[in-house]
């Protein structure tokens, strides 16, 4: 049973606009959430994280929002750039032990 879900397999956005990637989880014990970016033929790269004591974390063009009551997190990329085109995975864990990943969303930023 998938504990972390990314319901959109793909997303296309114009360069300069906002990209919003969504992730839902089912386990209320999860207290740490991460986003990874993956290019073809490479391993995933850690992008940004958030702990359950926060509802927002920013790092440059990337912001992660956490809504604990809805068990939902999202990644906002503003402005989107062609180099952001990649597959994005969200992941969640309880106490930083076993990490559960979503199935990924393929983002295409159109120049």
Partner 1 sequence: EAQVTQNPRYLITVTGKKLTVTCSQNMNHEYMSWYRQDPGLGLRQIYYSMNVEVTDKGDVPEGYKVSRKEKRNFPLILESPSPNQTSLYFCASSSPGTGFGYTFGSGTRLTVV
Q: List contacts with partner 1 (CB under 8 A).
A: 4, 6, 32, 34, 36, 41-46, 49, 89, 91, 93, 96-104
Between 24 and 89, whose beta carbon lies closer to partner 1?
89
Residue 49 Cβ vs partner 1, minimum distance, rounded to whole Å: 5
Between 69 and 98, whose beta carbon lies closer to partner 1?
98
For every residue of 29-43, DSSP letters joined together read T--EEEEEEE-TTS-
- The sign of the torsion formed by the CA atoms of 88, 40, 96, 8 equals positive
Question: Length of the chain, please?
Answer: 111
Between 20 and 48, whose beta carbon lies closer to partner 1?
48
Residue 17 Cβ vs partner 1, minimum distance, rounded to whole Å: 26
Residue 98 Cβ vs partner 1, minimum distance, rounded to whole Å: 6
> Regarding beta strands 19-25 and 72-77, do their DSSP bridges make them parallel or antiparallel, or are they unpaired?
antiparallel
DSSP reduced 3-state for 106: strand
A 10 A CB-CB count for 41 gives 5
Between 19 and 36, whose beta carbon lies closer to partner 1?
36
Q: Are 35 and 88 in contact (CB under 8 A)?
A: yes
Residue 44 Cβ vs partner 1, minimum distance, rounded to whole Å: 5
């Amino acid at each position: 049973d998938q504990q972390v879900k990314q319901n959109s397999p793909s997303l296309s956005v114009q360069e300069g606009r906002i990209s919003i990637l969504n992730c839902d989880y089912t386990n209320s014990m999860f207290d740490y959430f991460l986003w990874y970016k993956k290019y073809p033929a490479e391993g995933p790269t850690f992008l940004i994280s958030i702990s359950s004591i926060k509802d927002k974390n920013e790092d440059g063009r990337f912001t992660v929002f956490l809504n604990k009551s809805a068990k939902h997190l999202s990644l906002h990329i503003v402005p989107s750039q062609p180099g952001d085109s990649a597959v994005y995975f969200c992941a969640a864990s309880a106490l930083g032990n076993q990490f559960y990943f979503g199935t990924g969303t393929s983002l295409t930023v159109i120049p």
